[in-house]
Amino acid sequence: MPSPVETPSQTPKPTRAERFAGLSVAIVTPFRDGRIDSGRLREQIEAQITGGVSCICPVGTTGESPTLSHDEHERVIKESIQAAAGRILVMPGTGSNSTAEAVRLTKCAAKEGANAALVVGPYYNRPTQQGIYEHFKALAEAVEIPICVYNIPARTGRNIEPETIIRLAELPGIAMVKEATGLMDQASQILGATDLTVLSGDDSMTLPLLSIGGRGVISVVGNLVPADMRALIDAFEQGDFALARRWHHRLFGLCRDLLGLASNPIPIKAALAMLGRDSGEVRLPLVPLEPAQADKLRAVLIGYGLPVS
């Protein structure tokens, strides 16, 4: 007689880095006259703390890390940790297409007191899956802080296949995945086979990912409305799925229209400028929004109910 089918437990299994569950925000790097604006950086971190986020992620894609010098990159890490002052977790971006450089940046973050490191997959040189594995293995063995594998093939040119992430999960230092492929099957495979903490890398995919076991989001829109993104996650965690869906649908238009206008972080910096919270300045090769795009962005923000100046 066949064995009865085991009913899955209703209790979610704990993941490896639960302290990073919830809302993290990939913050911008403020510039003024071509230089890092430390005052604005501190103001924006205070706004995130007030908004109830769990963690900030400086010097990632949104933080324009490719245009920062090594000294500037390390400076933003240090100043962000100092401004957070232990009131919020800090997970800076420390990735590179050079393993040696990624190790150096990650060691710097660990030394300054970062709680984790957000490490994008090696870009441009398109390594094999074994090369990707060895890259992250070297990082995991170099530091004691947890590593979040940031998988965004649209930027890097190479997907980190789920089988590779499942192998990486065997390493104690690999704790999280920032899932920005948009592939729910891939996320499902990782969640079903590991105890990694999986965070959405796309604001509009936050609720779908939560529904299959994801634990939160590393948000861009959270720069503007952290409390609203937090409300979506809180509603889901409290079992109020109808309210979570309402927040999802309210935020969806903002996420789609904001991030669809131009490459991140051009629109988010323009939006912050319209709200009086940033200069809007970006570094080449990024350029400001065209006037027609800026008009559309202003209408989107007004439509959401934000106080555009």
* pLDDT reported for residue 260: 87
Q: Which of 103, 18, 114 is nearest to 58 (CA)?
A: 114
Residue 96 in any domain: the answer is yes
Alpha helices in 118-204 (DSSP H): 129-142, 153-156, 162-168, 184-193
Query: How many other CB atoms are found less than 10 A from the CB of residue 67?
Result: 15
CATH code, domain with 179:
3.20.20.70
Residue 44 in any domain: the answer is yes
* pLDDT reported for residue 12: 62
Q: Which of 37, 54, 35, 56 is nearest to 45 (CA)?
A: 56
Residue 248 in any domain: the answer is no
Which residues are bridge partners to 177 per DSSP? Answer: 149, 198
Q: Which of 81, 136, 129, 132 is nearest to 103 (CA)?
A: 136
Q: Which of 93, 22, 26 is nearest to 54 (CA)?
A: 22
- State the total domains in the chain: 1
Determine which one of 150, 269, 296, 304 is catalytic. Answer: 150
- Residue 69 has what DSSP assignment? -
Determine which one of 133, 137, 178, 269 is catalytic. Answer: 178
Element (H, E) at 38: helix 38-50
Domain of 39, in residue numbers: 18-240
Residue 257 in any domain: the answer is no
Q: What is the pLDDT along the chain (309 residues), one digit of tens a residue?
A: 444 445 454 556 789 999 999 999 999 999 999 999 999 999 999 999 999 999 999 999 999 999 999 999 999 999 999 999 999 999 999 999 999 999 999 999 999 999 999 999 999 999 999 999 999 999 999 999 999 999 999 999 999 999 999 999 999 999 999 999 999 999 999 999 999 999 999 999 999 999 999 999 999 999 999 999 999 999 999 999 999 999 999 999 999 888 889 999 999 999 999 999 999 999 999 999 999 999 999 999 999 999 998
- Verify whether residue 178 is a known catalytic residue: yes
Give the global pTM. Answer: 0.94
Are 51 and 226 in contact by the 8 Å Cβ rule? The answer is yes
Q: Are strands 147-151 and 174-179 parallel, antiparallel or unpaired?
A: parallel
Cα separation, 140 vs 37, in Å, equals 32
Residue 56 in any domain: the answer is yes
Count the alpha carbons within 13 Å of 309 in the hemisphere toward its beta carbon: 10
- Verify whether residue 304 is a known catalytic residue: no
Which residues are bridge partners to 199 per DSSP? Answer: 178, 216
Residue 303 in any domain: the answer is no
Which token pair is 135? Answer: 């890259």
* pLDDT reported for residue 9: 47
* pLDDT reported for residue 1: 45
Residue 93 in any domain: the answer is yes
Residue 268 in any domain: the answer is no
Q: Alpha-carbon torsion 85, 20, 97, 29, what sign?
A: negative
Residue 83 C-alpha from the chain's centroid: 19
Q: Cβ-count burial of 104 within 10 angstroms (0-12 exposed, 13-18 middle, 19+ buried)? A: middle
Q: What is the 3-state secondary structure (H, E, C) of 150-174?
A: EECHHHHCCCCCHHHHHHHCCCCCE
Cα separation, 190 vs 124, in Å, equals 25
